[in-house]
Structure 1
Amino acid sequence: MAAVRRFRSGIWLFLLPVVAQLLHVAVSLEPISMGIAIAAASAITGYVSFPEFYCGRLVECCQVDRPLNSTALQIDLKEKLFGQHLAHEVIYRALTGFMSNENPKKPLALSLHGWTGTGKNFVSKIIAENLYPLGMKSKFVHLFVSTVHFPHNNLIPLYKDQLQSWIRGNTSRCARSIFIFDEMDKMHPGLIDAIKPFLDYYENIDGVSYRKAIFIFLSNAGGDLINRLMLDFWNGGRRREDLELKDVENVLSVGLFNNNNSGFWHSALIEKNLIDYFVPFLPLEFSHVKKCVLAELRHRGLEEDEELASRVAKEMTYSPKDNKLFSDKGCKTVSAKLSLHL
């Protein structure tokens, strides 16, 4: 809100002479004209006092209590996320419940897991866009990529200090900050525990409350576990839509805790149950890849072409070798494959 206060001060310095001139003119006018001049001055001062005047038009504001448009979120998840009924359900329930709670006990922590190209980054983008119009470009959305921000083993103590400082500083400026950690499976073991105090059930730490912040972890770790469960379901003659969160979540959390390449190896975040949801992203099948191609055509402003979508989807590689059930790269290379055909 500091930026808002600075903006208010600046615009008042700009408008003050205008208001003063209107009031000066009003003194020399007859009653009716005087009333019009005073009303105009009041309108200017009143308009500037409303956040709608500057928030979103002139500056980006941290509106902590801005309500979530749950209908828009539901539509985005339905129309943009393919083959992920569990992720759709969990993300929708978690976000709407958290945003409707005026006094949450702790920040929302979501850990998204699955093979590459299944939609993890896409969902974090959808969440950001539904909270802030600028989405991932918002100054209140912060992305950390392990291989970029924390590349060196010998600098772990420094990274821990920097990470705490970044989160503390950004949350003190905006309580509704979003922190996204990508490539968690490449993060050094123990580093993520530096943020444990911010995810815990503290009312505040040194005068800063973190309870309205959102933390999202993205990882390929656990993808093999999820795929094996899906393959067992398929071999058992069950539909993927029959898979429930309870079938996956516990297996996933235990697997990550014991995997020294997960970023959560023996992590206090898991041990202390500070991650609210482990969200599995299921491997995509041919029909889902085809939907991704059609969505990419729409994104490019082109007409949907079922035949073209099928050709592009067939060029993707699938596994296991005997039944070619799951796309190896999900929808990650769809755009490049489509460009070859266009």
Structure 2
Amino acid sequence: MPVLAVGATAAALAIAGTFLIGNEKIVEGACDRLEPYLRLQMKPLVVSAHGSPGVGKSFMHKLAARALYNRHPHLDLDCPGMDCSSLKVFSGLDYVSADRNLQHAALKAALVEHLNKSPQALIVIDEYDKMDCETQFMFRQLIQGSHNAKLSMNRAIVVLESNAGFHELHQLLVKTKDRLKLNPEKVQRMLKEIVSQKWDATGCHDHASLWKMVSMVDFFLPFLPLEQSDLRRLFDIRLNAIAADLLQAQQAELTWAPDVIAFLCDKVDYDGRYSIEGAKEASVLLTRYVSRALRQWQQQQPPKHQSPISYAVSQTGYNLPEVKLPQFVTGTPKAMFFLHLVVKPQGHGLGLLERRRSA
């Protein structure tokens, strides 16, 4: 049976500082709440995470699972999956259908089975604000009435995820101009009011029922939009990860100039200072301009060929409709190869050009 790892909160902070860009303080606040829960475990801990797509909500629960259940949370393990089987992810839209009775029965059966296997479960409900009335009532009974139920959730952690409130968070950040100056209590009250209004609008609750529904949430986590400085860090981390993979595979030594990261940041869509889709768009851009070209380069390399690679942006640019690489010259194992990312004359993309020079 999976158990919570010793030093889980410290591990969560460590891996969040490495991977969760722009919202490190959010995770620090969550760990402050997590510590007493891990000691007492008298009720399920319910966390409501809010923010726009691509700011780290889903990534947070994966990091949390790795920190909570894995002895080596820094490793790239199968999570969710066999390496952290205590994590279970549901979607609020999965159980809204014409045949609701069957869907609710399936949901309850899945929850009961998971909690029987993993009492110290981490249960994630994505888009929870879109659950229908009956599903909301069922979750409230499980969470708030677990001490009377045959199946206890007292040792579980429930993470509710929603995009609700992202516009208000953006406006609040624009007003303060510094995420470190945001008042945590004010943000908590704002998100609580937003959730209360959304649940009230469903018509599922009277005043007493609505209060019980909202009060089951122990605290609200605001995930703030990413700035260009956050994206620069993110691109640098991702490029370093690519470089580490190439080096471990003994294929190449990868370097890049600062203007490559600037080029990628310029391709991001912004609303004022803040990225619209955050890390989600960053992943798409890395695939489009870096990973795809690297795969083409790798396909043309002989087995076990190791060569230094450099990324740079040329102001003059090259007309490269496709990646064209010279043939590898056999018998020159010490030859150095430099792979350059260059801007095309029309300014629409990066191309790969391999240049060889003597070692």
Q: Does TM, normalized by the shorter one, top 0.5?
A: yes
Equivalent AA in structure 2 for residue 331 of structure 1:
A
Equivalent AA in structure 1 for residue 67 of structure 2:
N
Q: Return 5+ residue gaps in structure 1 as ranges.
A: 1-60
Cα distance in 1, alignment partners of residues 203 and 128 from structure 2: 8
Which of 277, 286, 302 aligns to 1:338? It is 286
TM-score of the aligned structures, taking structure 1 as reference length: 0.71
Kept in 2, the 8 Å contact 1:193–1:268? The answer is: no
Cα distance in 1, alignment partners of residues 281 and 43 from structure 2: 37
Shift of 1:81: 1.3
Cα distance in 1, alignment partners of residues 13 and 66 from structure 2: 13
**1:218 maps to which residue?**
161
Kept in 1, the 8 Å contact 2:45–2:156? The answer is: yes
Shift of 1:185: 4.3
Which of 34, 57, 63 aligns to 1:95? It is 34
**1:42 maps to which residue?**
none
Cα distance in 1, alignment partners of residues 135 and 236 from structure 2: 40
Superimposed CA distance per residue, residues 270-299 of structure 1 (whole angstroms, 9 cap, x where no aligned partner): 645111111001111111111111121123
Report whether the alignment pairs 1:329 with 2:277: yes
**1:140 maps to which residue?**
86
Task: Using the TM superposition, name which of 295-304 and 105-114 deviates more.
Answer: 295-304
Cα distance in 1, alignment partners of residues 227 and 200 from structure 2: 27
TM-score of the aligned structures, taking structure 2 as reference length: 0.68
**2:239 maps to which residue?**
297
**Paired residue total:** 268
**1:276 maps to which residue?**
218
When the two chains are superposed, the root-mean-square deviation of aligned CA atoms in Å is 2.6
- SS at 2:99 equivalent: helix
Task: Using the TM superposition, name which of 246-255 and 76-85 deviates more.
Answer: 76-85
Which of 139, 150, 154 aligns to 2:95? It is 150
Shift of 1:331: 1.2
Higher relative contact order (CA 8 A, sep 6+): 1
Kept in 2, the 8 Å contact 1:116–1:332? The answer is: yes
Cα distance in 1, alignment partners of residues 106 and 257 from structure 2: 49
**2:192 maps to which residue?**
253
Kept in 2, the 8 Å contact 1:105–1:201? The answer is: no
Kept in 1, the 8 Å contact 2:140–2:213? The answer is: no
Shift of 1:76: 0.9
Q: Return 5+ residue gaps in structure 2 as ranges.
A: 71-77, 245-253, 291-359
Cα distance in 1, alignment partners of residues 110 and 284 from structure 2: 35
Which of 171, 174, 180 aligns to 1:231? It is 174
Q: Comparing both structures, which one devotes a greater share of its residues to helix?
A: 1
Kept in 2, the 8 Å contact 1:257–1:270? The answer is: no
Equivalent AA in structure 2 for residue 62 of structure 1:
P
